[in-house]
Amino acid sequence: AQSVTQLGSHVSVSEGALVLLRCNYSSSVPPYLFWYVQYPNQGLQLLLKYTTGATLVKGINGFEAEFKKSETSFHLTKPSAHMSDAAEYFCAVSDGNTGNQFYFGTGTSLTVIP
Amino acid sequence: GAVVSQHPSWVICKSGTSVKIECRSLDFQATTMFWYRQFPKQSLMLMATSNEGSKATYEQGVEKDKFLINHASLTLSTLTVTSAHPEDSSFYICSARDYGGGSGNTIYFGEGSWLTVV
């Protein structure tokens, strides 16, 4: 079975500061890992995903995440926060066998302080 | 790229009535679609897996008689909330897997549908 833990339901950073959103997963098979962003009253937008290959994955809007198997982590980072980054971020895992069913973390609300 | 569309985006219905939400894959065929529910300030929870031409598979704790899922074609799945109550008010979102073509093995999410039961 797969599960996702996002540490910190709320994260606040100053504009221009580093963004670090934590995600740890549990999976009995090689995982597919995803980060989604959800702006208020909107659906999910894919930021980036890891399936196989390079463990450092670059996504949209300057975000990147690194898959660390030994730590079962897939933390999301961005070097410099922008006001427009304020949103809800969800980490998700699906297994490589079916690739269908997603398991989401509880989400992290990012606030960017001007 | 592939797109999954949900309709309606917003719906308000009276308590006791039924409401249908559609999920369409616009440029690919989706034999399997998924329905999720998101309560305010919470994460998305899988409700059911919708399989084209067969019965949906519901997650534990989800009332299949209340949340009717129909996947009658390769591009359309519907979720009908029957005898809706205020506690059914939520954000419902679907996803579909693009098995083939240039997109390969990719999951696409719809924009979601906000249901308010008054």
Q: Is-contact B72 B80, C-beta < 8 A?
A: no
CA distance, residue B26 to nearest chain A CA (Å):
17
Q: Look at strands B4-7 and A103-104 and give their pairing.
A: unpaired
Nearest CA in chain A to B90: A41
Mutate to test the interface with A, among B21, B33, B39, B43 (most CBs of A within 10 A): B43
Q: How far apart are CA B62 and CA B88, in angstroms?
A: 12
CA distance, residue B53 to nearest chain A CA (Å):
17
Q: How far apart are CA B82 and CA B45, in angstroms?
A: 19
As a whole number, the mean pLDDT across chain A is: 90
In the chain, the amino acid numbered B1 is G
**pLDDT tens figures, B33-92:** 999 998 877 788 999 998 888 889 999 999 999 999 999 899 999 999 999 999 999 999
Confidence of residue B103 (pLDDT cuts 50, 70, 90): very low
User: Rg (Cα) of chain B, in Å, rounded?
Assistant: 14
**pLDDT tens figures, A29-88:** 778 899 999 888 777 888 999 988 899 999 999 999 999 999 999 999 999 999 999 999
CA distance, residue B114 to nearest chain A CA (Å):
8
